[in-house]
Each structure stands twice: as structure tokens, then as C-alpha cells.
Structure 1
Amino acid sequence: MYEKHLTSPSEHELVLRVIPMPADCNANGDIFGGWVMSQVDLAGSVLPARIVQGRLATVAVNEFVFKHPVRVGDILSLYAQVTKVGNTSITVQVEVFAERFGAKGGHIKVTEACLTYVAIDGDGRPRPIQQNEA
């Protein structure tokens, strides 16, 4: 694997699609950033879970950028790509695009993030990622 910063969803795999609801709003009426972060964490774990075939844990949020607010009713598409596989860890780039109501198929990148996950054993300790897993 190699590291690079990605900007096109075509280079990523669609791993999650979700619609935020009014209960997910902050005091400004936009979707709460913490809700978006939780969706990114879920989406980011999909590809590493396939690789490690077992338990994993989020160990770092290396970068998280909110580019535009997320609104109630946006259709969010979360794309991910593995950028690095180490001995026990996997780094993933996640990009979030919103399809706005009335935009007739138009999409806007609302969030991008880089997260690191670690493969863990039954006791919650880091375990090596087997060469055939990566």
C-alpha cells in the first residue's frame, strides 16, 4: 500500500449511505459535528474490518475537516480507501459527500478525514495483521 491524499470519490469505495434527521441537529439547526464524526468512524472501519477479519479499534483521528455544514435531509455518501497497512494498524481516508434536496443529483464534499484503526485480539491488545490479510 502507499499513502496519498485523495480528492475524488471515484478513487474510493462507497461504504455507507445515510440521511441525517432532525434529532441529529445542533443548536444552529445544522447536523451536529459529533454525529458526522460517528458516521465517518463507522464508514472508516468497513475496509479494515474486511482485512483483519476480526476485532479492531479506532486509535487515531489523524485529520478531520468539516468543509460545509450537513443539513437535515441531505443524502450523505461516505467513501473510504485504505492508504496504509502497517504491522498492527490500518490507515483509511474517508470522504463524505452530500446530495442536497433540490440539487437534482448535485453533490458537495462536506467532510474529509483520515483515521487509523488497529487490529486487536480477544483481550483488546494489538495483534499483527497477517501478510495474507493485507
Structure 2
Amino acid sequence: MTDKIRDPILRVVPRPADINANGHIFGGWVLSQMDIAGGIVAAEVAQGAVATVAIESMEFIAPILLRDVISVYAHLEKRGRTSMGIRIEVVATRDGGKTQEKVTEGLFTFVALDENHRPRPLPEPAA
């Protein structure tokens, strides 16, 4: 996990319907959880609506298993005029809470949107 101590943006338990033929959780399910968490952080930074426009990097490190509880961590990593990079990490808690393992991470790009769903400048950061 990252060197910063913080609370997860999301904590989720996968369901049996989320399992692929190998007994692991579908990558697309994990990606959607990451996008939700990243969108929460991005909307706070943008102080309004945002849209995911890119996934700059994505790495699946270890599989997520059915009984895992996943914690999704996200924070602002880079900031542009209308867009921002949100670093997202997923940690699985296993064995009844005895072990934790980072299972995936990625850098998602979100853009702030105006009322016409067009890019708008990000508000100035709080001092």
C-alpha cells in the first residue's frame, strides 16, 4: 500500500456472480470499483461533475478471491487545467482479516465537466 495512512474511499465484498472461470474476480469488476472510487475523489477536487477520460496505467498484481474484502484507496497525483490524474490502489484483506495484499493499481485521468458536459477549468486548490 502507499506510504500515506488514510481511509479507503470504498470497501467492497465481491459476489459469486463476479467470479470468472478461474475462480478469480473479473478484471472488469475491479476496474469499475476503481473508477467509482476515483470519481469520488475527482468530483471533490473538481467541486462538481467529472468524467473518466483515460486510464494511463493499470497493473493487476495478484488475483482477487471470492471471500476477499477489497479496500480501494485513491488520491490526487497530478493536476492540469481541466483534468487530473487520480492514483488508485486496491488492497485485498484475506483470511478473516489476517493478511492484506495489494492486488491492483492504476492512474486514471478525469476531466471536470460544465453543465453542457464539456471540459471546464478546475477550481483553484484551497490554500
Give the structure-1-normalised TM-score: 0.87
Structure 2, gaps ≥5 residues long: none
Cα displacement (A) at 1:132: 4.4
| SS across alignment from 1:115 | strand
| SS across alignment from 2:114 | coil
Which residue in the other structure is 2:120 paired with? 127
Give the 5 Å matches for 1:45-124. 45-102=39-96, 104-124=97-117
Identity of aligned residues (%): 45
Structure 1, gaps ≥5 residues long: 1-6
2:87–2:107 contact (8 Å) kept in structure 1: yes
Between the aligned partners of 1:86 and 1:19, the Cα distance in structure 2 is: 34
Moved over 4 A (4+): none
2:8 pairs with one of 10, 14, 17 = 14
> Are the structure 2 counterparts of residues 9 and 71 from structure 1 closer, same or farther at C-alpha, using a change threshold of 3 Å?
farther
Between the aligned partners of 2:49 and 2:106, the Cα distance in structure 1 is: 22
Give the structure-2-normalised TM-score: 0.91
What amino acid is aligned across from residue 68 of structure 1 in structure 2? A
Cα displacement (A) at 1:9: 5.5
What amino acid is aligned across from residue 129 of structure 1 in structure 2? L
What amino acid is aligned across from residue 72 of structure 1 in structure 2? L
Root-mean-square deviation (CA), in Å? Answer: 1.7
Which residue in the other structure is 1:36 paired with? 30
Between the aligned partners of 2:51 and 2:58, the Cα distance in structure 1 is: 18
> Are the structure 2 counterparts of residues 17 and 9 from structure 1 closer, same or farther at C-alpha, using a change threshold of 3 Å?
farther
